[in-house]
Amino acid sequence: MSTPKVPWFRGASCHITARGNHRNDIFKDEEDFQYYITLIEEALKYFEYDEYKIICYCLMDNHVHILIKTKDKAPGQFIGRVNAVYAKYFNKKYNYIGHLFQDRYHPEFIKSDEQMLEASRYIHLNPLRANMVEKPQDYQWSSYSMYIGDKKEKLITTKEVLSYFQEGKERELYKKFVESAISIKTAL
């Protein structure tokens, strides 16, 4: 029996999560993380005419978060290509047999501006919540440092999220927005 299709609509933005099977690690070293990012870049070029846009991302040891904006095609073909090629690479490199990913992928469709902001903040704070870093900009496999201007933008499109903040102060205000959730957490 085939897996049912994920519902989708044109122009949708979607927070995609793909988790390792049995919550096992899907990245074991820096080369693995870098290869996955390379696959995202290659998929953006491959599907250039479908106009996918990566809003933000975070690659964790055992799962990935990608906030993607679509135009005319569902995100499944994009993430499916990335994960399938990555699984073949991982299986060969580590002599792994079986499914690398738990499921195809889990989509959460963005229905409001507030949800878009919260999804980006959630994605960028993931390494901090997992106690992997003390500051979100210290995590190498996330787009956060590009959002706040510490690194040059590559792979992502920050325009949509940063447009919610005052022009000229977008990056500074986004950083305050994201990091305000840290102070709330530590105050509890």
142-161 pLDDT tens trace: 999 999 999 999 999 999 99
Which of the pair, 185 or 104, is modelled with greater confidence? 104
pLDDT tens by residue, 18-61: 999 999 999 999 999 999 999 999 999 999 999 999 999 999 99
Contact 127, 145 (CB under 8 A): no
pLDDT at 1: 44
- CA-to-CA distance for 106 and 19, rounded, in angstroms? 9
pLDDT at 108 over 80: yes
Domains of the chain plus CATH, in order, are 13-183 (3.30.70.1290)
Strands (E), the chain: 13-19, 53-59, 63-69, 106-109
**Mean pLDDT, residues 75-92 taken together:** 96
